[in-house]
Amino acid sequence: MATKYSRQREQIKAYLYSCKDHPTADNVYSAMRRQFPNISLGTVYRNLTLLARQGEITKLSLGDGGDRFDYDTSPHYHFVCRQCGSVTDFPLAADELSSSFTNLSFDGKIEGQVTYFYGICASCLHNAGPGEK
Amino acid sequence: MATKYSRQREQIKAYLYSCKDHPTADNVYSAMRRQFPNISLGTVYRNLTLLARQGEITKLSLGDGGDRFDYDTSPHYHFVCRQCGSVTDFPLAADELSSSFTNLSFDGKIEGQVTYFYGICASCLHNAGPGEK
DNA sequence: ATAAAATCAGTAATGGTTCCTATTTTGGAA
DNA sequence: TTCCAAAATAGGAACCATTACTGATTTTAT
């Protein structure tokens, strides 16, 4: 259970911290193969899961496609483009949403909330103009 | 493109409308096999997808496990129990949350929002008391 | 140095979902 | 009614993301 050092995990973390986007496990795998040609996809998954469990990164389950991973663990929201699939940070302060439900009649223990927005991103909106695909 | 009648789809819809929980495609498949022993899982998926596209039901993608389907298409939220996996309606009026983000500086087209809550449901909380599994 | 524990690469297995094909059902028109 | 094209079906293969298993390798405390 004690976590030992591993070059692979170190690089995975470094890669995530260098990313503005929100890569999938497969994106990370592709990037890692440049440095570790023999790295296994399982290794990528294991380390992403471990890092997420330790709170060093966040795992995003945004419906379609694979899960994504975010180096930014501060509370914030995301926007998913229905057309190109891109995931970007959403400029809405996290607690603008999450504050209102403190005293409602719910009998279970509320631990958290998942919220994301979807639609068409700016880039796809502009490219759609003159009828191109 | 014109939708034709089908007994299977009719029964799938009837089953969903009789459900208080939020069954998965496989739940629906199991239920349908009682009436159509040879029904195909593909048929269930195709019809659930069709009904969702036509707005007669709602498809819920709540992270873990398979998608779920809800006969109630009115805007409302859900609570997912992290322990038993149950999905229940969440007693928070939908527009208490969804109103705040009209005039923020976002350049894309916002079409919708996905929000759900997670934690431990009342039943799991109570059963966990005396140390049983 | 050494040995236990953690991690690894490689690969098989899983679960949920979609896709394909030949056959059957539906619904409008002859 | 009967005929026909479109839509739907059952069955099964294929697909994708993820997890599980294995025996070899690396890390780290002694």
Tens digit of pLDDT per residue, chain A (133 long)? 699 999 999 999 999 999 989 999 999 999 999 999 999 999 999 999 999 999 999 999 998 889 999 999 998 999 999 999 999 999 887 666 555 555 567 889 999 889 999 999 999 998 865 443 3
Q: Which two tokens stand for residue A29?
A: 């795998």
| Å between CA of A1 and C1' of D30 | 19
CA distance readout (Å), B130 to B62, B76, B81, B122: 30, 34, 20, 15
CATH number of B74-133: 3.30.1490.190
Closest CB to A118 among B107, B114, B121: B114
Name residues of chain B where pLDDT drops below 50: 130-133
Level-2 CATH architecture, domain A1-72? Orthogonal Bundle (1.10)
Q: How many CA atoms lie within 13 A of B27 on its CB side?
A: 15
Q: Do A1-72 and A74-99+109-133 agree at the fold level?
A: no
Query: Which residues from the 20-39 window of protein chain A have CB within 7 angstroms of nucleic acid chain C?
Result: 36, 38-39
Q: A99: which chain B residues are within 8 Å (Cβ-Cβ)?
A: none
Instruction: Name the residue among B46, B52, B96 with its Cα closest to residue B70.
Output: B52
CATH number of B1-71: 1.10.10.10
In CATH terms, the superfamily for domain A74-99+109-133 is: Ferric-uptake regulator, C-terminal dimerisarion domain (3.30.1490.190)
